[in-house]
Amino acid sequence: MILALALVLAAPAPPAHPHPHPHPAKDLRQLAQQHGIKIGTAVDIAALRDEPDYRQRLNREFTHVTAENAMKWESVEPERGVYTWDDADALVENARRNHQQIRGHTLLWHNQLPAWLTSGVEDGTIDATELREILREHITTQVRRYKGKIRAWDVVNEVVEEDGSLRQSIWLQHLGPGYIADAFRWAHRADPHARLFINDYNLEWNAPKIETTLSIVKDLKAQGVPIHGIGFQGHLGIQYDYPADWANVMRRFADLGLEVAITELDVRMVLPVTPEKLATQAEYYRRALTDCLSVRACREMTVWGFTDRHSWVPGWFEGEGAATLLDENLAPKPAYKALLAVRGRK
């Protein structure tokens, strides 16, 4: 007994801060669990329905999902008062079955609006009073439908121009800047437990856009408006420098009491693909996750599609593509493996 006690006392003490995850994660779901964050993807609903390999990979890898298009206004109300929920419902049901949380995207945007709405505003048959009521009804109807099922909503999307001015959308032109606060209030009333976000692109580096968005958040909070989070879209390209100050920008918003999320991450390249370009892409993905993990308030990293088979990039950026973690055959690219190797948050 004395000898055993002596051996115990003589044994070296374990390190004060053992590495929390000595082995790389086997997939993104395990990576999310290791770091205590949500790792998500935008979902192509047609692929979810029609492609078993896509569906299997989606459900295996991700703890969080966003409808790429199925919850946008033109999709859910293509005719006034006529709602088409099938695609959005399919995403919600698939997420429920696979223990995934959901980001609702998006309640208020200047794009992908139904033709009946934009034409009515343009020809004057919908005046400002009616437009405000239409917006209130849209937000209330959609949020109530998924009350308790959607963790977070992108309430307002891309409301700031590149020069830092408010975007000259039909909402600003006809309702004035107060429409932003109204949208958050209506969404909160419809589901008091949902996390409500302002979401935008180029917030990772664009100083005028950052400062204006910070001002919007401060103003909303001063009014007592329920805003809970900031979404950095994160549409990056390897032909541009990685936004080196991104983590500090995240902290500025976190200091206002907001949850931080990377909501639409992809890293495009000028084609053709080369091993060198893939290595740079992998480094950008790795840095994005590392930046998120360095900010305690960053609790979600969502990629805007996970396979090059279904990516918005080639259709919008001529000559560019290969922006996601998996290739067209769902084979992991270096970027996928780089994420699995990231260490950081306990």
CATH number of the domain at 92, please: 3.20.20.80
Q: What is the dihedral of CA 325, 32, 240, 263, to 10 degrees?
A: 100
Q: Which residue has the higher pLDDT, 140 or 23?
A: 140
C-beta pairs of 241-244 under 8 Å, 24+ apart in sequence:
242/283, 242/284, 242/287, 243/204, 243/205
- pLDDT tens per residue across span 122-135: 999 999 999 999 99
Q: What is the mean pLDDT of residues 67-94?
A: 98
Is residue 330 included in any domain, yes or no?
Answer: no
- pLDDT tens per residue across span 322-332: 999 999 999 99
Is residue 231 included in any domain, yes or no?
Answer: yes
Catalytic residue among 77, 204, 264, 300: 264
Is residue 18 included in any domain, yes or no?
Answer: no
Tally of domains within the chain? 1
pLDDT higher than threshold 70 for residue 2: no
Query: Where does the pLDDT of residue 346 fall: very low under 50, low under 70, confident under 90, or very high at 90 and above?
Result: low
Q: What is the mean pLDDT of residues 10-30?
A: 60
Q: What is the mean pLDDT of residues 2-10?
A: 35
Is residue 21 included in any domain, yes or no?
Answer: no
Classify 277 as helix, strand or coil.
helix
pLDDT higher than threshold 90 for residue 114: yes
Q: Which tokens is 277 given? A: 């370009």
**Residue 214, CB-side half-sphere exposure with 13 Å CA sphere:** 16
Is residue 192 included in any domain, yes or no?
Answer: yes
Is residue 288 included in any domain, yes or no?
Answer: no
Q: What is the mean pLDDT of residues 129-153?
A: 98
137 is a catalytic site residue: no
Catalytic residue among 61, 68, 77, 158: 158
Is residue 126 included in any domain, yes or no?
Answer: yes
For residue 53, what are the domain limits? 38-263+293-311
Q: What one-character DSSP code corresponds to residue 41?
A: E
158 is a catalytic site residue: yes
For the stretch 120-157, what's the b/e string if a residue is b when 16 or more beta carbons lie within 10 angstroms of its beta carbon?
A: bbeeeebeeeebbebbbebbbebbebbeebbbbbbbbb
Query: Where does the pLDDT of residue 181 fall: very low under 50, low under 70, confident under 90, or very high at 90 and above?
Result: very high
Is residue 46 included in any domain, yes or no?
Answer: yes
